[in-house]
Structure 1
C-alpha cells in the first residue's frame, strides 16, 4: 500500500535528506524490521536514519562501490572478476535461481555490513549481469536477504501503474498545489481500487472490473434511454459527446 507520497523539490531539499526526514517520521520499530531501498539511497546517512528508528536497511548497491576485502579497497565490479564458480553457491528466490557470493566487512562510509554479489543462474560472470545488495543485519541469511529485497519490487510496479493508468507521466499542470493534488488523487484511487470495495484485490484486476462495470453502465443507460424514447441529442449530452 502507498504509505506516503511526496513531491520532490530540487532546490529545497536533497533526495537523501528527504528520505532521512521521511524515515524519521516513522514509528519506532517494536521488533525486527527492515527498510528497503534501491541503490540511489544506500548510503551512510540513510542507514543511520533507519538504525535510529530501530530498522535495519536492505538496499541495492551500485557495482562501483568500494569494499575492503582483507583491508584492500576495490570496487565491487572489479572484485567480482576474481570470484570463481567454487566461491559461489545457488539460492532460489521466487522461481529463479542465482549464484551468490557473500562479503562481510567495511564499505566507504560504512563500518560493517553484508554485501551479496548476485548473478542469474545462466549468466555467471556475464557482462552486465552482476547485481549487488547490502544488509546492515549481518545475521540475516543470504537467501532471506534477497527474498526481503524482492519485496520492494511492488513499489516499481506501483510507479509503472501510476504512469500507465493514472497519468503520472502525462499531467499538464505546473503549479506545486496542482501536482500535490494529482499525487493525492493517485494514492486515493489506488487505495480505492485495491481495498476500497471491502476486500483486497490486485490493482490490475480491479481496474478491469471497474472499467467493465463502467462500460456496462453506459450501455444500460443508452438501452434504457432508447426504450423510453429519450431524444438522441439528450443521450449525447449525458455522454458528453454532444
Structure 2
C-alpha cells in the first residue's frame, strides 16, 4: 500500500462543520481519507498510511474520548448534501429501511453475537445494523442507523425509531420501502400516522381474503391469471387487486412473476403489498425495485469503506466509526455532484466511480510529493518513505 501524502479533496467540506473543533476536523479528515483510500481501514492502518495523521493514539482518542456530538455531525452532513441539486432530497424520493450484518471474530466487540444470516444461510458471529437510506433517480446516501442489541428492542422497534428520526430531521420523502421482516401492522400504522405511503414484500404464507375465502397468498397465486407487462425493460406477469391482508387490513396486493434470464425460463415470484391503493402496478414494481439501493449501499460500504473493519471495543468508538463512514460516503457523493462529470457519476448505483476518482487523486498527490524533491535520488526518496512507516 502506497502512503497517502495529503487529505483527499472530498474532505474539504469538513472545514464547514460546526460540530467539530479545529483539531477534531484534522482527525476527521484523516479518518475519512483513510476510509476512502487506505487498504487497511482500522485505526492502526489509517494512522500508518495517511501521513498527515497525528498518531494512532490521537486518532483513538478522537473516536473514543474527545467531546463531539454524533447526532449533530449527522445533521450537518445531511445539510451539506442539500447544497447540491444532484444530492438534494425531495418528496419524490424514497426512504429504504433494512438491516445488515458485519462479521466479527472478537468476543468483546460491542453487541456482537450469533445471528442467522439469510444471505449465507448459516450462523455468523457479528453485529447487526438497521439502516435508513435516501434514494431517488439522482442519488443514494445513508440517513441514520441503529445497532441491534439482543434482549433489547426488536428490529421493528428500531426501524420505528429510524422513521421518527427521519421525520424529525426533515426528510421529505413520501414513500418508505422495506422487506418482509418489517412488514408488520404496528410498523405500517406508525408510517401512516405521519401520512406516509409504503411498499413492501410479504411472505408466501401470509393470509389474504379473496372472494370471501381466507387463504395463503401463494394459494391465491395458483388461482388467478396474470398478464404480461414490460417494466424498465423487464417482463413481468402481473395480477393486482385490493384485498384484506392479515395484520395489515385492506391494501393493494400485487403478485408479480418476473421472467428469468435462465434457459429453463423459471419465474421469480414476489408478493408485494402497499397502501398506495390507486397506484399502477408498474409504478409499484419500479418503486420496490429501488429497495435494492440499500443492498448496493451495504455492499459498497463493506467492500470499499470499511463498514465491518472497526475493531474497537467501546460503544462510542464503533458508533463514531459508522458515523464517519456515512460522512465519507456522503462526501464522495457530494464531490461527484460538484465535479464536471457530476451528473453522470452521482447517478451511478455503485460507489466505484467515485472511489476511482479518489484513488487517482491519492496517487497524484504521492507523485507530486515525490517530484517536489528533485534534489534527492529515487533511493533517497524510498528511504524517506520507509522511514515514515517505522
Q: TM-score, normalised to structure 1's length? A: 0.86
Query: 1:158-197: per-residue Cα shift (whole Å, max 9, x none)?
Result: 1111111112233322332222112101100000100146
Range 62-71 or range 184-193, more displaced: 62-71
Does 2:227 match 1:77? Answer: no
Matches of residues 161-172 of structure 1 in structure 2 within 5 Å?
A: 161-172=300-311
Number of aligned residue pairs: give it.
Answer: 234
Matches of residues 183-198 of structure 1 in structure 2 within 5 Å?
A: 183-196=322-335
Partner residue in 2 for 1:99: 237
Change (3 A) 1:137 1:89: same
Match of 1:159 among 298, 301, 311: 298
Does 2:227 match 1:89? Answer: yes
Residue 296 of structure 2 aligns to a residue whose secondary structure is helix
Displacement after TM superposition at 1:234 (Å): 1.7
Displacement after TM superposition at 1:106 (Å): 0.9
Report the aligned-residue RMSD: 2.5
Matches of residues 5-154 of structure 1 in structure 2 within 5 Å?
A: 5-27=145-167, 33-83=174-224, 87-122=225-260, 129-154=268-293
Displacement after TM superposition at 1:49 (Å): 0.6
Displacement after TM superposition at 1:54 (Å): 0.6
- Unaligned residue ranges in structure 2 (runs of 5+): 1-140
Change (3 A) 1:161 1:32: closer
Does structure 2 retain, via aligned residues, the 8 Å contact 1:117–1:133?
A: yes
Displacement after TM superposition at 1:99 (Å): 0.7
**Structure ranking higher on relative contact order (CA contacts 8 Å, 6+ apart):** 2
Query: 1:68-89: per-residue Cα shift (whole Å, max 9, x none)?
Result: 1123222222222233xxx211
Does structure 2 retain, via aligned residues, the 8 Å contact 1:26–1:53?
A: no
CA distance in 1, matches of 2:246, 2:336: 48
Change (3 A) 1:91 1:173: farther
Change (3 A) 1:65 1:174: farther
Query: 1:29-52: per-residue Cα shift (whole Å, max 9, x none)?
Result: 999921111111111011101100
Displacement after TM superposition at 1:198 (Å): 5.3
Displacement after TM superposition at 1:131 (Å): 0.8
Which is richer in helix?
Answer: 1
Displacement after TM superposition at 1:136 (Å): 0.9
CA distance in 1, matches of 2:249, 2:271: 18
Change (3 A) 1:43 1:128: farther
Matches of residues 223-238 of structure 1 in structure 2 within 5 Å?
A: 223-225=371-373, 227-229=374-376, 231=380, 232-238=382-388
Does structure 1 retain, via aligned residues, the 8 Å contact 2:258–2:267?
A: no
